[in-house]
């Protein structure tokens, strides 16, 4: 899967990942390979990215996530 984390100012992350956990409005949820297409709003919290090189955490200030055909795009209002 590919992941992009974008803010209005810059691209924060782009790369291949095995799992992503995002802070949904109704609670955190995980996105794995072949996840069904989804668009969801996000609240302030941690985006946890798992890849072959380990695990990274990005603290976002709300936003939206879109998943289509193993491409994940997180549009965040900001990243701390």
Residues 57-78: pLDDT tens digits?
999 999 999 999 999 999 999 9
Q: What is the pLDDT of residue 54?
A: 95
pTM, rounded to two decimals: 0.94
25/52 Cα distance (integer angstroms): 28
Q: Tell me the fold of 2-76.
A: ATP Synthase; domain 1 (2.60.15)
pLDDT of 21 reads 98
Task: Using DSSP bridges, classify how beta strands 63-68 and 71-76 pair: parallel, antiparallel or unpaired.
Answer: antiparallel
- Parse the chain into domains and list their residue ranges: 2-76
pLDDT value, residue 55: 97
- Tell the residue number behind the tokens 């936003």, with chain if given: 63
1-51 pLDDT, tens digit per residue, is 999 999 999 999 999 999 999 999 999 999 999 999 999 999 999 999 999
Decide: 76 and 12 in contact? Cβ < 8 Å.
yes
Q: What is the pLDDT of residue 18?
A: 98
36: helix, strand or coil: coil
């Amino acid at each position: 899967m590919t992941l992009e984390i974008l803010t209005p100012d810059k691209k924060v992350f782009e790369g291949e990942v095995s799992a992503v956990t995002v802070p949904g409005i109704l609670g955190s949820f995980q996105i794995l390979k072949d996840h069904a297409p989804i668009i969801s709003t996000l609240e302030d919290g941690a985006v946890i990215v798992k890849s072959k090189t380990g695990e990274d955490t990005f603290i976002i200030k709300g936003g939206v996530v879109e998943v289509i055909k193993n491409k994940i795009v997180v549009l965040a209002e900001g990243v701390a």
